[in-house]
Amino acid sequence: MKLEGKAIMLRIYFGEDDKWNGKPLYLAIVEKCRALDIAGATVLRGVAGYGASTLIHRSHLLSLSHDAPIMVSVVDSEEKIQTLIPFLDEAVDEGLIAKSEVEVIKYVHQEGARS
């Protein structure tokens, strides 16, 4: 599979403690993306951030709180991204989903490379 040119990037923001069916939400999103054969998804853990609640979430080495800000970035064609939206509508209770057009310079996926 080769993806070049216009594509869509979703950025999904929420807290690390958020769950979906008993598992971390970030993992559920990545697994759903893989099941939908979406080109790529990456989870990033933030140092600090806040959203609609204006409560600042931060990552501390010695803190018992693990609700650091999380962003999942997903990139694929408009059609593939649209197949993910119904799942996100159901799974993301509190957070932000941002959609933007991007230009993919190079993405090459080798068949059979899944592990």
Q: What ranges do the domains of the chain cover?
A: 5-104
Nearest to 43 by CA among 65, 23, 69: 69
pLDDT tens column, 22-60: 999 999 999 999 999 999 999 999 887 777 666 666 665
At residue 9 the predicted structure's pLDDT band, cuts being 50, 70 and 90, is very high
The single-letter code of the amino acid at 75 is V
Q: How many Cβ atoms from other residues are within 10 Å of residue 70's Cβ?
A: 23
CA 15 – CA 54 distance, rounded (Å): 13
Q: Which pTM value belongs to this model?
A: 0.82
Evaluate whether 87 touches 20 at the Cβ level (below 8 Å).
no
Indicate the fold that domain 5-104 takes in CATH.
Alpha-Beta Plaits (3.30.70)
